[in-house]
Amino acid sequence: MKTIDKIYINGEFITPNGTEYFDLISPTTNEKLGKVLLGNQKDTQNAISAAKEAFKTFSKSTIEERIQSLKNIQTSVEKRKEDFINVMVEEYGGTLQFATMSFEYMLKGFESTINLLNTYDFTKTMGNSEVQMTPLGVVGIIIPWNSSNGFICSKLSTAIAAGCTTVIKPSEMSAQQTQLIAECLHEAGLPKGVFNIVNGLGDVVGAEISRNPDIAKISFTGSTTVGKIIAKEAVETMKRVTLELGGKSPNILLDDANFSEAIPLALIAAYMNSGQACIAGTRLLVPESRLEEAKKLIKETVSHIIVGNPQNKTTAVGPMVSTKQYERVQNYIQIGIAEGAEILIGGLEKPEGLENGNFVKPTVFVNVNNQMRIAREEIFGPVLSVITYKTEDEAIEIANDTTYGLQAYVSSSDEKRAHKIASQINAGRVQINGIGHDPMAPFGGFKQSGIGREFGTLGLEAYLEPKALIK
């Protein structure tokens, strides 16, 4: 049993003023793993004050100093590789496969940010003027539980690159993961106050970050519902916001696609991170003429997907993070049945032998139309909806008929054709014949998938304020 009773403010692990504890429960067994002492409003204010003070000097740091900070963090993170993977598996229920991949991405992310710093011009000429790209101020980082340390590292790296200081509020469910990254960041020896971490609840710690006038910007990843609450509050003090919200990503299989490659890929896209991914490809658009073939292949592929203990190397789908998330996914499966969609494979209740954890059967619905709730709302679990189309134009129309626009996928044996379709989809990223990540390309959503972009130049500029000197 672990007790996490410290938060991190101004270069030190300290005991928070808050007195409430939150239980940490294993998603795999529902046994209690430990507890975390939650910070309160006063703790958040102290963290913001420390970041505000640190900003006075850190905003003037040189590019070399920022690069050195990033290298130091990378070194201390790299040393704890096993710990990062294990704690993500244990506390979050991420599969070993996913946690290992996440760690590698997290580590590579520092390099991408360093590369960016080596090439980015903080002073530009526009018209006849000198334009200085200046650090915005104190950044509030509010993140969910589905890739906690990955989000902390990418957002904090960008803030450091920009010369901003930070107050980080992770999900309280990620407390052990947070403790680990806090130890690494502490070891990296950053100037005190550059990062501060407050464990606590969204409507306490998150709300104070959204309200406090000394926060200049919020970088948020999470649900569209909470994103809207934050944006409304932020406007009172004109905080800048970067919001990475939900998705209902379409995956278009064109009629010339090689299904023996495209369908397994589609299931990876749908069930990545056990379905708890904002970029999951949860609407599979199949040409009507090839539906039977698609169904057969889907059934066959899903029947081989291993659900179970996330510690096992071969497990592809682990438990949902909490019983609440499990119930949410069950509820959506129920909704799909009630709406008249047909279960091709999977369905309600836990897979046999996995009754103790928050396990869901990887589920595929067919006979779905795009107006059903299971086709419109983010489920955040391993549930895929198959929707048929007759023509290419109809496929594009269905793909774009969503309030979201984070990511999309297109498969075709003719890459030019896929490219043409991809160009017509309203989404921040479109994956052609694969699933990849480009850390120098922008990431973010059209429509209600968010505001702003992360990664690369656009991601960095979201932490900078342009100042024109007119001579």
The catalytic site residues sit at 244
Q: Are 390 and 407 in contact (CB under 8 A)?
A: no
Nearer to ligand NAP, 116 or 141 (CB): 141
Which residue shows structure tokens 């529902």? Answer: 30
Comparing CA positions, the residue from 220, 199, 186, 181 lying closest to residue 102 is: 181
The secondary element (H helix, E strand) that includes residue 344 is strand 342-347
The DSSP symbol for 174 reads G
Question: CA Rg, the chain, in Å?
Answer: 22
Strands 464-469, 12-14: pairing kind: unpaired
User: Could you tell me the smallest distance in angstroms from the CB atom of residue 173 to ligand NAP?
Assistant: 7
d(CA 461, CA 144): 23
Q: State the nearest-atom distance from the C-beta of 151 to ligand NAP, in Å.
A: 8
Name the minimum Å distance from CB 267 to ligand NAP: 20
Amino acid at 96: L
d(C-alpha 56, C-alpha 74), whole Å: 25
168 versus 396: smaller Cβ distance to ligand NAP: 168
Q: Minimum distance from CB of 341 to ligand NAP (Å)?
A: 19
Task: List, in sequence order, the alpha helices (H) in 272-367.
Answer: 291-303, 323-338
Integer CA distances (angstroms), 30 to 22, 52, 89, 274, 327, in order:
14, 40, 14, 17, 14
Residues 462 and 268: their CA atoms lie apart, in Å, by: 31
> Minimal distance in Å, beta carbon 58 to ligand NAP?
24
Q: Which is nearer to ligand NAP, 66 or 169 (CB)?
A: 169
Residue type, 112: S
Q: Which is nearer to ligand NAP, 159 or 205 (CB)?
A: 205
H helices present in 351-409, as ranges:
373-376, 392-400
CB of residue 144 vs ligand NAP: minimum separation in angstroms? 3
* Site residues (vs ligand NAP, CB under 6 A): 142-146, 169, 171-172, 201-203, 206-207, 210, 221-223, 226, 229-230, 245-246, 278, 325, 328, 378, 380
Alpha-carbon gap, residue 383 to 265, rounded angstroms: 15
- DSSP annotation of 367 reads S
CA dihedral 185, 10, 60, 116 (to 10 degrees): 20
CB of 323 to ligand NAP, least distance (A): 13
Nearer to ligand NAP, 137 or 246 (CB): 246
135/170 with CB nearer ligand NAP? 170
Whole-Å CA distances, 345 to 297, 338, 341, 359, 379:
12, 16, 12, 15, 17
Residues belonging to the chain: 471
Nearer to ligand NAP, 144 or 346 (CB): 144
| The two three-digit tokens of residue 43, written as one number | 């703790």
